[in-house]
Amino acid sequence: MPTFPPPAAFADLIRLAKLEDLGPASDDATSRICIPAKAQATGTVVQKQAGVVAGLPIVVDVCRAYDDALKVELLATDGEYSDARPKPLARIIGPYRSLLSAERVLLNFLQHLSGVATMANRFAREVQGTAAVVIDTRKTLPGYRALDKYAVLCGAGGNHRTGLYDMVLAKDNHLAAFAAGTLAQSVERVVAEAGELPVEIEVDTVEQFRDVLAVPGVDYILLDNMDNATMRRCVELRDASPNKPLLEASGKVNLTTIRGIAETGVDRISVGAITHSAPALDIGLDVVAQ
């Protein structure tokens, strides 16, 4: 299983979520009015929809941010698939008011991250038996990137670059501004300037692909919006070349098209929908007073 991100990757998200929910005075008016101050309760986080769970460790951090007296016991493991039968994921015991105050925030995290993991898993299952790996993109909500990429891994997907700082991905707009004669000469210059960073170059045609393939030091070639026949031809050219960059398919990828794309022989298929369009998984909190 992937390693859950460190608290520094999401501490600000929890803080902001708490602030917008409780306001500057940190007041849950409804719980304050309806729940006795010393009341205790047990809450069970329950998965109610078939899917892959992700983000359970953050339940501990959310509860700690609201009240150190809330004690959490995790009953499941991230990456587990469950069918539609209700499945207990975590048990929380402690002050009733604090439990209800934290409920929405912890469910928001779990529902979203489990939705991402489930979406990634649906795509990953479609390419089973091929050489292709389904990977995510940078299409994430601000602050959620580390968590979303973790959730993708929980769903058996893979990760693309983390941000603009850890890979050179030169697309047409970059290369147009960086022009140094022919396309091959521009790519040679990119590789030289990249240093230790991995290099990926976007191409739209077989002719462009040939030019980029001829340049040593390119780690990935992005096949942008190509049809399957064209991608298959690019795979053939790569396999016959002394240079062996990994090939990434991008554009027009959905659950209907992805199997055919994978069968062209590409190595990676990037899917923005995994993170930007994943529906929340149905997860709830059942609370019983002690």
Which one of the listed residues 139, 210, 233, 259 is annotated catalytic?
Answer: 139
Which one of the listed residues 78, 126, 136, 202 is annotated catalytic?
Answer: 202
Which one of the listed residues 18, 71, 138, 171 is annotated catalytic?
Answer: 171
* Strands of 20-120, DSSP E: 40-47, 51-52, 71-74, 81-82, 87-95
Q: What is the pLDDT of residue 180?
A: 67
Give the rounded distance of the alpha carbon of 270 from its chain centre. 11
Active site residue 224: yes
Q: What is the pLDDT of residue 139?
A: 97
Segment 193-222 shows an average pLDDT of: 97
Task: Say which residue the tokens 């990760």 belong to.
Answer: 159
Which one of the listed residues 67, 80, 204, 224 is annotated catalytic?
Answer: 224
Which one of the listed residues 15, 68, 73, 104 is annotated catalytic?
Answer: 104
Write down the CATH number for the domain with range 125-276. 3.20.20.70
Active site residue 48: no
Q: Could you tell me the pTM of the whole model? A: 0.95
pLDDT digits (tens, 9 = 90+) for 6-50: 999 999 999 999 999 999 999 999 999 999 999 999 999 999 999
Query: CATH says 7-118+279-289 is which class?
Result: alpha beta
Active site residue 248: no
Active site residue 104: yes
Higher confidence at residue 290 or residue 84? 290
C-alpha–C-alpha distance, residues 19 and 81, integer Å: 33
Task: Say which residue the tokens 């692909």 belong to.
Answer: 209
Contact between 174 and 26 (Cβ < 8 Å): no
Active site residue 166: no
Q: Domain boundaries in the chain?
A: 7-118+279-289, 125-276
